[in-house]
Structure 1
Amino acid sequence: MAKMHKIEEKIELNCSADKIFEMLRAKQPDIPELCSDKIPSIEVHQGDWVSVGSTRKWDLNMDRIDAIDEENKVITRSVIDGEMMSHYKSLTAHVQAIPKGNDNKSCFIIASFEYEKIHEDAPEPKEFLNFGLGVLKDLGHHLSSA
């Protein structure tokens, strides 16, 4: 049986959990405009921007929305194509926005990858996770100043 691995990071953003969740759920077309140095483009390949099962091509990979939990502000996506998949049989990302305090002005983001390596000496997707956290920080900064 294949061994599943998991890495996880937690960061704090100075924007509401609702705003960052909405950006990741329904306003993805805005991300290249806000983070053009990291994400020059995103295109829908199947479905739409918000529905489970929809696929999008980012510059680095192609992913599919697997689940959206609006109550807990969690989005689950599977990477289905791209450079990263040369190391992994499966790679699933989970991003959760958790409100911090009652002021609705800041939040915590818990981002994780669950993955199965193609070969045991394949690297952890730490660089990819850090890249994603950088994008989230840029989006959080933009949302806090908007």
Structure 2
Amino acid sequence: MALKYKLGTEVEIKSPPEKYYNIFKGQAFHVPNAVPDHIQGVDVHEGDWETHGSVKIWKYTMEGKSDLVFKEKVEYDDENRSATLIAIDGDVMQEYKSFKGTYQVVPKGTGSLAKLTIEYEKLSDDVPAPDKYITLMVNVTKGIDELIAKAK
């Protein structure tokens, strides 16, 4: 029995698509400034901030639990303005065999539409859908949007 699933949502933001995408593409170190209640740090473990295949370690808080860690390998798609964070270690791996979070942004009106998706495989049937991670992605997106607005 396959336990692979996909979950997603969309968030309208005021930021231009290039500025939003560039945060993930080369400036992820700004994310803790945008959402310090959710993300406490992002560090490069292998590679650099903007190279496809680089490995980063995110320190985050979720549902009141702090000191959580997400180690990911990043895949960039410049044409579609998407960054996919593929889990390779960390707290998320206690519930999921595989976990890929994608932040994609497309132009919409004077702003953008952020499309947030998670592709995942549960370790067992009783593992819940990663709704809390989609909520985290929404909060990160809103925080980035506010950070970009302040920089204008």
Residue equivalent to 1:29? 29
Matches within 5 A, 1:59-78: 59=59, 60-65=69-74, 67-78=75-86
Matches within 5 A, 1:1-146: 2-59=2-59, 60-65=69-74, 67-101=75-109, 105-146=110-151
For 1:2 and 1:44, locate their aligned partners in 2 and report how far apart those are by CA, in whole Å. 33
For 2:117 and 2:6, locate their aligned partners in 1 and report how far apart those are by CA, in whole Å. 7
For 2:46 and 2:150, locate their aligned partners in 1 and report how far apart those are by CA, in whole Å. 33
In the TM superposition, structure 1's runs of 4+ consecutive aligned residues that sit over 3 Å from their partners are none
For 1:81 and 1:123, locate their aligned partners in 2 and report how far apart those are by CA, in whole Å. 19
Q: Give the SS at the match of 1:141.
A: helix
For 1:93 and 1:128, locate their aligned partners in 2 and report how far apart those are by CA, in whole Å. 9
Instruction: Please report the TM-score for the alignment, with normalisation by the length of structure 1.
Output: 0.91
What is the count of residue pairs matched by the alignment?
A: 142
Letter in 2 for 1:10: E
Unaligned runs of 5+ in 2: 60-68
Deviation at 1:45, TM superposition (A): 0.7
Instruction: Please report the TM-score for the alignment, with normalisation by the length of structure 2.
Output: 0.88
Identity value in percent: 29
